[in-house]
Amino acid sequence: MGEQVTPLRVGMVGAGRISGQYLATLATTENLRLTAVTDLDPSRAEEVAAGAGAEAVGSLAGLLARDDVDAVLNLTIPAAHAEVALAAIAAGKHVYGEKPLAATREEATAVLAAARGTGVRIGCAPDTVLGTGTQTGRKAVDDGLIGLPVAATAFMTTPGHETWHPDPEFYYRPGGGPLLDMGPYYISALVHLLGPVTKVTGAASAPRAERRIGSGPRAGQRFAVEVHTHVTGVLHHRNGALSTLLMSFDIHGSDLPRIEVHGTEGSLSLPDPNTFDGPVRVWPARSGGWQPVPVSAGHEHGGRGIGLADLADALATGRPHLASAELAEHVLDVMLTLLDSAHEGRTLPVTTTCERPAPTV
């Protein structure tokens, strides 16, 4: 790679629903500039590009050939994440993508190997964990506010996305399900809080063979369920802590917390890791109640894309970026191993690892 250009010039691949959140961040971040957009729907690319002062490009190859694209923002469907990333790496472009890093372990390994071979940077969502919610909780853990961490819980409960999404089938096909859809937020937060995972014990079920679309022009139509819709298990962290995870599309109502971390000297409650902020509370030992923890770390008023902004800053300063591909590969491996464990009915080792990400700077 040559001398780093500032701001980092970004080519967006995929201009679907999630792109709006990234566009809001790109428009207000000084070290990023959107220069090109491509999408399988040319009219959608043209609309997004016109609104952002960028140029619509007719193909991925055309976008990758441009001299004014330093990094690719990969917002394609999960099945295409690895293909687009590998093409961008071959063109010498940095990549930041939506989660998951890839659909399989093999694809994730290939992406990381290609990046190392060319010297480009690879980043991956979620970057919600860089917001004040997870980072304030992480600082509390690091400062010893709850003593030695011994356990955590992570709960994502919903009756299913078909209740609100007009075309929900892809959530219930291979590559979908509550774990692969929402697990990256929760497991990434747990790795930030407690470090990498060494082994997992899982169980899973699919109580309903069919689902019914609840909104939109196809409301009332039924479709087949092809994946587990209720996944639970225990994650064994390298530091000895145990996390209990529950990801479900089968729970209609619940008072379960999002994430809690329990230590020898107290407990910590964190907000939804699919958001950037929210209240953090501590229950000190022998105190008898929850107390607010003031915001003390993380990107305030964060939005999707701050991970890409952090990657741009890391390139300029020569430090590691925080939303790394190594973390994303490990999170993917944890999820797939949990599903393998559920299928085999035994505890399984997680073959990848990563460094616990540094706190936000």
pLDDT digits (tens, 9 = 90+) for 78-134: 889 999 999 999 999 999 999 999 999 999 999 999 999 999 999 999 999 999 999
**Cα-atom radius of gyration of the chain, to the nearest Å?**
20
Best CA proximity match to 111, nearest among 102, 103, 119: 102
DSSP, residue by residue, 30-43: TTEEEEEEE-SSHH
Residue ranges per domain, the chain? 8-124, 132-295+329-349
Dihedral of CA atoms 70, 331, 157, 149 in degrees, nearest 10, equals: -120
pLDDT number for residue 5:
62
Question: 8-124: which CATH topology?
Answer: Rossmann fold (3.40.50)
pLDDT number for residue 326:
97
Cα(222)–Cα(209) distance, integer angstroms: 10
pLDDT number for residue 309:
97
Beta-bridge partners for 71 = 10, 94
Cα(269)–Cα(199) distance, integer angstroms: 24
Best CA proximity match to 258, nearest among 328, 182, 329: 182
Cα(199)–Cα(253) distance, integer angstroms: 30
Cα(107)–Cα(105) distance, integer angstroms: 5
Burial of residue 127 (number of CB atoms within 10 Å: 0-12, 13-18, 19+): buried
Cα(97)–Cα(19) distance, integer angstroms: 11
Give me 7's structure tokens.
């701001």
pLDDT number for residue 1:
46
pLDDT number for residue 4:
60
For the question of whether the overall pTM of this predicted structure is more than 0.75, the answer is yes
Mean pLDDT (10-residue bins), the chain, 361 residues: 73 94 95 97 96 96 98 94 97 97 96 96 98 98 98 98 92 92 97 98 97 95 97 98 98 96 98 97 93 96 95 95 97 98 98 95 65
Would you give the DSSP letter of residue 277?
A: -
Residue pair 261/94 in contact by the 8 Å Cβ criterion: no
CATH superfamily of 132-295+329-349: Dihydrodipicolinate Reductase; domain 2 (3.30.360.10)
pLDDT number for residue 288:
82
Helical segments of 286-324, H only = 306-317
Residue pair 273/257 in contact by the 8 Å Cβ criterion: no
Cα(185)–Cα(272) distance, integer angstroms: 9
pLDDT number for residue 2:
45
Report the half-sphere exposure of 147 (CA within 13 A, side-chain side). 11
